[in-house]
Each structure stands twice: as structure tokens, then as C-alpha cells.
Amino acid sequence: MSLRKALLAATVLALPVTAEAQPVRGLYVGGGIGGNFMDDLDTTLSLPTGPLRGSVSFHPGFAGVISVGYGFGNGLRTEIEANYRENEVDRVSGFGSANSAIRSSGKLFSWGVMLNALYDLPVEWPVVPYFGVGLGVLTSNFDNVRQSSRANPGDFIHLVGSTSSFAYQAIAGVSLPLREVSPGLAMTLEYRALGALEDDYEGFRYFANGSPRQRGSFDAGTNLNHSILLGVRYNFGQTTPPPVVAPTPAAAPAPARTFLVFFDWNRADLTDRARQIIGEAANNSRTTGTTRIEVSGHADRSGTPQYNQRLSERRAQAVAAELERQGVPRSAMVIQAFGESRPLVPTADGVREPQNRRVEIVLR
């Protein structure tokens, strides 16, 4: 099966969005199962009487992997993988026989160990795309692969044996966090292209007329597998996420003539409580003879600095618009945005902190 058809098989899977992505930190384990699609193997069977050229094609089969890895918290991961693949033979063609006059049978098994390096893209999506490469060893086993004559079943080509060779692979996938189920749990959907270097196997030709069999060898060519895998991963380094609830304003008293307006995570719209606080600031600006009103937007550190800068700008503009609606002239305002650079509560990168998602209104 072609690479394009293998990729199209992935479109039948639809994943629900349940939680935002978090960096993989520390030890994790994972596994996946799915379909395996093999390219045709073009080979030459070398016999004492001369070479016979042929090809082996396969039905879609099974693939499974398990892995143990470590995430560095910055998108980079490394892991050790054990894998297994199995495909039934569809047709053994050529080798001097007319395709209409043959029967084909047998299986190809493979199993191996790979060392992979992967990178999770730092995007603010519900799912995390990732890419990787791997190197390792793959053992392939031709299990009773035959091309036999329909007219004379005793006249057949027999391909057998197993060998181990250097293997390489490319990985592309997405992970979907399931933090509502468990903090470190994620579902994965990925494509893996696994290849192994050419190696030699045993091959035999048997004759129905009683002639001695001929023994030789065949080169299986490049063993290229395309696998679509659905799996799960558990990261032991993840902690329980903060509750996703609308925060209330800080209980601590604000400084004199300073008003704090708080926002939900990743939002810039005003709640009823926020409008009430803005109304109090507008009333105070008229009764205290204020000549300058500073409107400063802020964000927590759960996104990228660039995204948080834009988010704090939208929050500041939303508060300024409400002040203007309540009678404060925009010419009296100084509107600023500081992104995540001036937290009210210092936190590590990536942490959601409700008190840092705010706009400060300072009356001067």
C-alpha cells in the first residue's frame, strides 16, 4: 500500500477536545496499536541455475509499540521503544511463473528496539503536534512464504528465515491531554515510517517431478512499513491542574485609588463583577478630581510572551471602553499593556495564576 493511502487511513479517527496541552516533564510510558501497511518487496532469488526475479506484496496488517521515555519540559523528549508488526502475504509474483497460475501464502513478522528523539511543537492548541526520528535494530522473519503452482502444488518457491538489521524511522503525531481523567494522561495518534536495510534470507525451489530442490538466497530489498497508531501516554511528572473556575477578585485591600479588574483564563471579556469595579473607579475619578487615569493590562504565564502581550492589550482596551461608556473621557486615560512581565504573584513559566490575569486602574 502506498504512503498516501496509509495517511488517508488516519482521517477516520476523530478526537474530542478535553483540555489544553502541557509540556511533558520527567518519566513517561506509552503504547499504541493500529494498522501496518508494507511496500512491495522486489527481490532476486539466486539459485544454482541462475537468478529469478520476483515481488512480494502484503495485505494490511497489525502494528504495536510500547515505549519508556523522558521529557525535558521544553518540548524535547527521548524514549526507548519496542515494536511488533505482522502482515499476511497478498501475492508472490514473478520468479518465472505466470501470475494467473500461482497461489501465494505466508506471513512476514518483524520486531525491534528503537531509540527515538522527539519534539513537541510549542503551539497554543488543544492538541500538541510532535515529530521525531529513531534508530535501532529490526528483526524480520519470513514465515513459510510460498509461491506454488495451481496445476502442480509440489512445484513451488519457498522463502524462509529471519535476520536482524539496522533500522530507522520517522514519526509524526498529535497528543490530546486527558487531564480531567488523570493529570499525566494523554491520547496519541501518530504515523510511523519504519525502514530496515537490505539483508539476505534463504530461498528454495521445489519441483513436482521429484528433482532435487535448489537452495539459494534472496535479498528482500528495503523493508518499509507505514503504521497508523492510536495509543495512550502517561507522564509521571504532571501535577493536578488548577481548577478551571472563574476567579473572584483578591480579598486583600487594593492600594489607595487603585482598582483591580480580574479576568477568566485566556479571556478579555468583562464579567458583571468587573463592570461593577470599573463603575466604582469611574465614580471615584469624578469625585476626587482625578486628572490622569492609568489603565494597565496584564496576563499570567500560561502562554507564550507574545500571546500574553496581545491578550493584555485586549484586556486593557476592554476596560478603557467600559470606562468611556460610564462617562470617563478617553483623553484622560493612559492605556498600557505589560503582558506577563509584571506579575502580581510571581510564578514559574506555564503556571495559571488568577491574580495575574488583571487590569489595574490607577487614579492620579
Between 60 and 289, residue with greater pLDDT: 60
Q: What's the N-to-C CA distance of the chain in angstroms?
A: 72
Query: Would you say residue 6 has pLDDT above 50?
Result: no
Q: CB atoms < 10 A from the CB of 127, how many? A: 19
Beta pairing class for 258-262 and 358-363: antiparallel
Provide Rg for the chain, Cα atoms: 32
CA-nearest of 169, 226, 171, 221 to 197 is: 221
Q: CB atoms < 10 A from the CB of 219, how many? A: 15
Give, for 322, the enclosing helix (H) or strand (E): helix 305-325
pLDDT for 291? 79
Lowest mean pLDDT among 40-49, 82-91, 265-274, 312-321: 40-49
Burial 260-276 (b: 16+ CB within 10 A, else e): bbbbebbebebbeebee
Angle, CA 1 vertex, CA 204 and CA 83 arms, to 5°: 75
258-363 classified as CATH 3.30.1330.60: yes
Summarised one tens digit per residue, pLDDT across range 190-222 is 999 999 887 778 888 888 777 778 888 887 777
Query: What ranges make up the beta strands (E) of 95-127?
Result: 102-120
pTM to 2 decimals? Answer: 0.59
In the chain, % of residues over pLDDT 90? 43
Indicate the pLDDT class of residue 292, thresholds 50, 70 and 90.
Answer: confident
Q: What is the mean pLDDT of residues 115-141?
A: 94
**Helix%, strand%, coil% for the chain, nearest 5:** 15, 50, 35
What's the mean pLDDT when you consider all of the chain?
Answer: 85
The class level of CATH for 3-235 reads mainly beta
Rounded CA-CA distance 199/41 in Å is: 12
- All structural domains of the chain with their residue ranges: 3-235, 258-363
Rounded CA-CA distance 193/340 in Å is: 41
pLDDT for 289? 75
Summarised one tens digit per residue, pLDDT across range 34-82 is 999 999 888 888 888 888 888 888 999 999 999 999 999 999 999 999 9
Q: What is the mean pLDDT of residues 291-319?
A: 90
> In the structure grid, which three cell numbers stand for residue 129, read together?
503536534
Instruction: Give CA separation, 166 vs 3, 62, 75, 249, in Å.
Output: 22, 21, 27, 61
Rounded CA-CA distance 327/287 in Å is: 13
Biggest alpha carbon distance in the chain? 114
pLDDT for 248? 63
